[in-house]
Structures are given as C-alpha cells and as structure tokens.
C-alpha cells in the first residue's frame, strides 16, 4: 500500500507558517499532521506532495525518517494508494470515521463541501490522478478527480477535524494534547534525572510524565486537574515555575524560574519559555525568555520574542477578532 499526503489551495490560509513548510508539517497536539497519518495507516512507502519550491528541502529532511519517503516524484503510484489532505488532523474520532467510510472500497473520493479530504484508488486510477497532486489541489482539480473516480461520498464537517485556518489548530490543540498523552504516557514511571523533593503536584500524579534527563528544581508546581503534562528529554525546569495540564513540552527546553505555563501550552524542541504562556503552539527553536503574555497563538521556529511582548485575543469592545487573509477579513469567532 502506498500512502500519500497532499496540499490544497487552502495551504495559503496558514501563511506565513506554511511559506516554509507543507501544511502537514504543522503540529497540533504532540504530533504533526503527517506523523498522525503515517502512524494511522499501514504502508510500504510515503509519497509527499507539496509546493515544488519546498521539494529539495523536504527530500533532505525526510531522508532521516524511518519510513521511505519520496517527494513530488512522478511514476510512484504503481500500487493501491490512499491519499490524505494535509489539513486533516487525525484525532481518534476523525480516524475512526474515515476508516469506516473507506473500509471495503477500492476507489472512492471523500469530500467535505468542496474540499477533497481523502482519495483511495487502485493502481490504475492512482497513476491517472498522480499529475493532479504535484501542485496544490484546487476546485478545478477536484472536478477532474470525479471524472476519474466516479464513486465519491460527502462527509459532514462536524465528523472530521479538517482545519481551515491556524486558529482551528489552536482551538483543538488542548484536547489533542490530552488525547495523545493519555494514550502513551499516563501512569508510566518517570525517567527524570532529578526532581527536587519540594516539587508539588496538584491533582493526579499519574498525569505527569517526566522523560529521560529532565531536571526539576524546587518549588515547581504541576497542576493536572484539567489534564496531563509531558516534559521531554533533557528539559530543565527552574525553581518556582507553574505548569498546568494539558501541556506538552518537547526536548532540550528551559522553563524559566517563575514561568506560568498554562493549559493548552505546546512547546516544541529547544525553546526557552518564561513569563506566561497559554493555549499556544510553538513549533520549536524559539526564545521567550522574559516576562510577557502570549496566548491563543501559533508561533513557528527560530523566533525571538522580546522582553515584555504581550498579545491578546480580547478586544476592548469584547467583539470577535478578525484577521486579513488573502485580502479578505475573516472572523475568527
């Protein structure tokens, strides 16, 4: 079985983050969309389709993965194939619904509105549609697909997690952290290097997992009343930090003394986090060392956040926030 992941025209809705990466390399919960797809479907090879200027970079990046990847290469779809929209977030509910829809079917397209969610094709049809994937899928190509694979089904948007904008990922992040951590880490024995005896856990201790090499200094507080907490390898938590679940902290991070890491925080690898963070995803390699509040945000890699930088998702009018995307004002709800 060949497993493929493709982009569509809505990848531009996630600019500027998707200027430098395919949309399926965005992380929500503890995994990227690509990682979720690869873990959820059996396969022999992964075909990654993306905007062509990203091809060389991601051919290099994927060379270190355990699975075999090919990027934007024609002639690879020579077997039965499943192709997944890179905006699809395979949480448990979405995975169950998608697998139920395609079970026992050889050639089918799954739509949600005008969006192509998934394509399952035998080798003959897979070869015919391959050329449509080398550039992002659009509505014109979706019509062409129906001429090749005439069996298609519409899935209601409420049955799947298909993100249209970055704030969709931010909104589903906390629940996905909880789902991911409960599946893999809850109740496991810690591997931490050092945890001071004056560290406090408010709530269920089983919901905290400290990975290999983690150091936790005195008077750190872990609060698991709202969900689990994961701290990745070789991360150091300085004295007086307070961390609320659900929260995911990757490897080689420094949590600055006195930091407030609130629910829904999602730190990638090699970050420094101080001040206050809430309901925010940070892809990695980012410095937020100083005071200031960052909330309900999505931050990329190699970002330096200056002292006292603060954002807000609350307008003085108490109205909803609107964002300009593609020259249009979009209400974030």
In a domain, 268, yes or no: yes
| Polymer length in residues for the chain | 333
Exposed/middle/buried for residue 324 (C-beta within 10 Å: 0-12, 13-18, 19+): exposed
In a domain, 110, yes or no: yes
pLDDT per position as a tens digit, 205-263? 999 999 999 999 999 999 999 999 999 999 999 999 999 999 999 999 999 999 999 99
> ∠ CA 200-28-73 to the nearest 5 degrees?
145
pLDDT for the residue 316:
85
pLDDT for the residue 299:
98
Tell me the pLDDT band of 122, cut-offs 50, 70 and 90.
very high
**Average pLDDT of every residue of the chain:** 96
Residue at which a domain ends, from 164, 190, 221: 164
Q: Express as a percent the part of the chain with pLDDT over 90.
A: 94
pLDDT for the residue 133:
95
C-alpha dihedral sign at 250, 306, 227, 321 = negative
Statement to judge: residues 147 and 177 lie in one domain: no
Tell me the pLDDT band of 63, cut-offs 50, 70 and 90.
very high
Statement to judge: residues 125 and 232 lie in one domain: no
pLDDT for the residue 330:
93
**Is the pLDDT at 313 greater than 90, yes or no?**
no
Statement to judge: residues 118 and 202 lie in one domain: no
In a domain, 325, yes or no: no
Distances (CA, A) of 70 to 33, 55, 183: 17, 10, 30
Phi and psi at 306, nearest 5°, equal -70, 165
Burial string for 163-176 (b: 16+ CB within 10 Å, else e) reads bebbbbbbbbbbbb
In a domain, 106, yes or no: yes
Statement to judge: residues 146 and 250 lie in one domain: no
pLDDT for the residue 175:
98
Tell me the pLDDT band of 312, cut-offs 50, 70 and 90.
confident
Statement to judge: residues 35 and 144 lie in one domain: yes
pLDDT for the residue 314:
80
Statement to judge: residues 20 and 129 lie in one domain: yes
- Domains identified in the chain, total number: 2
In a domain, 319, yes or no: no
Domain range for residue 177? 173-301
pLDDT per position as a tens digit, 22-55? 999 999 999 999 999 999 999 999 999 999 999 9
Tell me the pLDDT band of 304, cut-offs 50, 70 and 90.
very high
Tell me the pLDDT band of 18, cut-offs 50, 70 and 90.
very high
pLDDT for the residue 326:
87
Q: What is the mean pLDDT of residues 112-124?
A: 96
Q: Where are the alpha helices (DSSP H) in the chain?
A: 33-40, 55-62, 92-102, 123-129, 139-148, 166-184
Statement to judge: residues 155 and 264 lie in one domain: no
Tell me the pLDDT band of 318, cut-offs 50, 70 and 90.
confident
The pTM (predicted TM-score) of the whole model is: 0.95
pLDDT for the residue 269:
98
**Is the pLDDT at 309 greater than 90, yes or no?**
yes
User: What are 74's two structure tokens?
Assistant: 């024609």
Statement to judge: residues 37 and 76 lie in one domain: yes
User: Distance between CA 280 and CA 95 in Å, rounded?
Assistant: 24
Distances (CA, A) of 111 to 84, 151, 156: 11, 11, 9
Statement to judge: residues 139 and 216 lie in one domain: no
User: What are 228's two structure tokens?
Assistant: 């689990």
Does 312 or 229 have the greater pLDDT score?
A: 229
Q: Express as a percent the part of the chain with pLDDT over 70.
A: 100
pLDDT for the residue 179:
97
Residue at which a domain ends, from 140, 164, 188: 164
Statement to judge: residues 178 and 253 lie in one domain: yes
Statement to judge: residues 12 and 142 lie in one domain: yes
pLDDT for the residue 216:
98
**Is the pLDDT at 9 greater than 90, yes or no?**
yes
In a domain, 113, yes or no: yes
Q: What CATH number is given to the structural domain containing 111?
A: 3.90.550.10
Residue at which a domain ends, from 164, 187, 209: 164
Statement to judge: residues 64 and 193 lie in one domain: no
Q: What CATH number is given to the structural domain containing 286?
A: 2.160.10
């Amino acid at each position: 079985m060949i497993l493929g992941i493709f982009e569509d025209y809505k990848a531009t809705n996630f600019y500027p983050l998707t200027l430098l990466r395919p949309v399926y390399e965005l992380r929500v919960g503890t995994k990227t969309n690509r990682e979720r797809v690869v873990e959820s479907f059996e396969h022999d090879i992964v075909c990654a389709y993306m905007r062509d200027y990203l091809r060389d970079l991601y051919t290099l990046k994927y060379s270190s993965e355990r699975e075999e990847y090919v990027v934007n290469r024609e002639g690879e779809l020579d077997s039965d194939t499943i192709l997944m929209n890179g905006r699809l977030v395979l949480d448990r509910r979405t995975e169950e619904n998608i697998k139920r829809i395609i079970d026992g079917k050889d050639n089918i397209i799954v739509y949600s509105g005008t969006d192509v969610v998934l394509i399952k094709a035998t080798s003959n049809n897979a070869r015919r549609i391959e050329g449509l994937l080398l550039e992002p899928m659009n509505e014109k190509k979706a019509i062409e697909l129906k001429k090749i694979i005439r069996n298609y089904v519409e899935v209601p948007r409420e049955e799947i997690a298909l993100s249209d904008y970055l704030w969709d990922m931010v909104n589903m992040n906390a629940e996905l952290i909880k789902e991911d951590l409960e599946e893999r880490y809850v109740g496991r024995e810690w591997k931490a290097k050092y945890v001071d005896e004056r560290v406090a856990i408010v709530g269920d201790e089983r919901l905290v997992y400290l990975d290999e090499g983690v150091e936790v200094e005195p008077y750190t507080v872990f609060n698991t009343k709202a969900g689990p907490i994961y701290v990745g390898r070789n991360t150091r938590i300085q004295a007086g930090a307070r961390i609320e679940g659900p929260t995911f902290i990757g490897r080689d991070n420094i949590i600055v003394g006195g930091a407030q890491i609130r629910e829904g925080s999602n730190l990638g690898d090699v970050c420094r986090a101080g001040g206050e963070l809430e309901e925010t995803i940070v892809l990695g390699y980012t410095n937020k060392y100083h005071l200031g509040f960052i909330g309900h945000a999505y931050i990329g890699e190699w970002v330096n956040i200056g002292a006292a930088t603060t954002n807000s998702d609350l307008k003085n009018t108490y109205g909803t926030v609107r964002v300009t995307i593609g020259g249009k004002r979009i209400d974030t709800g």
